[in-house]
Structure 1
Amino acid sequence: MVTITDVAREAGVSKTTVSYVISRNPRISEETAKRVRGAMAKLGYVVNHSARALSTSKTMTLGLQVNAAENKRVSLTRGAYLCELADFARQNGYDLLLMSNRNGVEGIRDMASAGKVDGLILMDVTCEDPRVDAAIEAGIPTVLLGLPDDPKGLDEVDTDFERAARELISLFKRKGHREIALVHTPEGSLGKGANFAVRFRRSVMDEAEAMGITLHVPPRQDWNMPPAEKLRDVLTRYPDISGVIIDDDNTIISTPQVLLELGVSVPDDLSVAVVVPDVLREQMHIPYAAIDINLPAVAQEAVEMMVRRIEHADAPSVTRLVGQPLTDLGSVKTL
């Protein structure tokens, strides 16, 4: 079994330095930390979290709570986030405990009373998320993966969906489009919708209005239609549109087949642009212009923000919006 002594010898440092790197002690330079982490990876060294917990009076576990009550459908994006968050937690010396409770507030209270975790990351954040107050009352260091209307002093991180909306509408504007539609992801219940979806919809609508583009958004009840039916409905409902923006990953995946069945050619008959995690677009060969959501970058920021909060409980709260590039694959036609 590889020991901390082996890592120290391989990296050319002391055992104390290796221990400091594992615990993310700020006195260690980034160059030294990279050398130690490289030695750990080369030798296959695995941190003994139980031993660390005994020596530091910490659980060395981060809690991750998804909002089961508001998000019952399968989400490829959420699944990809879980993998990335678990990986970055491990890299920072923590285990990740997934917690799904239909009553998120009750789940947070149970977690706090049991002392199961050192910090908590909340996913699927809604506009008026009651878990924000619960986390504050429980006194657990907390990071919000999403931006509620009022974070009440908690740290928060997310994709910059406002910038994404601006870049996509600008693309259609530059290409001469005047009338397009949004094929939208479900937001959840009225007034408690998933914040990322609400922010993107509002931003797309505002940008389209500012740039003089007519943007059609189907009625709220249609956002929960099956993915293939959702796109068909938009094309039938708005026959004069020249393009669509799609922000629902399940609909994005079904779009090539739906358009093939309808005999619609991209971009000759219809221009298409999407918002999708970069890993999904690349692995599933999605052929459309896209704002690539960099899930690893957002997940890394969430975990590192969580670790900083655990180590510096009184530091000022921060908000991070991770901007993403537009990848233009030629699926938006110049009119």
Structure 2
Amino acid sequence: MSDLDMEDVALALVAPSKGILAADESTGTIKKRLDSIGTASTEDSRRDYRELLFTATGASDYISGVILYDETLRQSSGTGTPFPELLKANGIIPGIKVDMGAKPLAFSNGELVTEGLDGLRERLSEYYSLGARFAKWRAVIAIKDGAPSQYCIDTNAHALARYAALCQEANIVPIVEPEVLMDGDHNIDECYAVTETTLKSVFDELYKQRVVLEQMLLKPNMVISGADCQEQAGAEEISDKTLYCFSQAVPSAVPGIVFLSGGQSEQQATENLNVMNQQGKQPWEISYSYGRALQSSALAAWQGKPENVAAAQAAFLHRAKLTSAARDGEYNAGME
């Protein structure tokens, strides 16, 4: 993997039938996941859970890359193999989450800006030496009470572009993740308007900061109804409005769009991805970078117990296989 240039890495991450596993939950987020199955969050339990995902036989048929958290990048399997080496040996590209989370944006009405640019150049150099070949930075845009402001969108876009430029300087492919959150009662058209505005601001900043579009991937939300909206759009409308929005805002030079699942159920995220891929060839590859939508069934099957590892791996592989089918437009609900 180390001999691939950034364009090759970007293309490998969105290869046919494959997508990215987001296993980069922060310590706080993974604690919530483990709490849900009654398992204490310790360095060992976090490692054990991630190891069962990474060592599932055949995962590389569906998973091109894995986004790791700083702790996980430095951990090793039970046999003593560092996780980045283990993934590479299985034909999976290791990646790393590099942002430090969203913090309150000064002089705004409760909006957020993602931090983590300080010292990022040095951290990227270390992450490259540890085996990471792509990175991720997430900006969160909320729709509520007059938000988002253009100030919030532009500030996050500027940070995303600075991050992306530093990644490319370090020979690491940046995944640029501007997420318009599903939280709220907004309808799909409100999501469309905010998503298009956000994407245009992001690509304007990427251009200004000399980011090479062929050497990056975009990880956005789908254009979708808010979770509390009374009228939930169906998969066909989600697909049509998402693809039209992206045709207006995302340059064709970008190799791929790896959608986040963003609060959708496993089946919903799979179905929506499938319908998009049934629309025919797009300027960019349409793939996935899912966290919960690839992991929920596996976590429930595992329950923190060593004797359940095989069942958890089977659940993970089943979900990955269905998501892979959706990435090729070949999924149907009967496969569940």
TM-score normalised by the shorter chain: which range applies?
under 0.3
- Structure having the higher Rg: 1
Q: TM (normalized to structure 1)?
A: 0.27
Normalised by the length of structure 2, the TM-score is: 0.27
